[in-house]
Amino acid sequence: MTFDAIGIAGTGLTVHRKWLDAVSDNIANINTAVSPAEAAFRERYVLVSTSDMSPGAYVAGTALGDAEGRLVQEPGNPLADARGYVRYPDIDLGDQMAQLILAQRGYEANAGVVDRARNTYEAALQIGRGR
- Judge whether 38 and 95 are in contact, CB under 8 Å: no
Handedness of CA 115, 116, 118, 123 (dihedral sign): positive
| Cα 48 from Cα 44, distance rounded (Å) | 13
- Main-chain phi, psi angles of 61, to 5 degrees: 150, -165
Strand partners, 87: 34, 71
**Residue 38 sits in which domain range?**
2-128
Whether residue 35 has pLDDT greater than 60: yes
- Tell me the mean pLDDT in the region 90-109: 97
Say what the pLDDT of residue 118 is: 84
Say what the pLDDT of residue 3 is: 63
Count: domains in the chain: 1
Say what the pLDDT of residue 107 is: 95
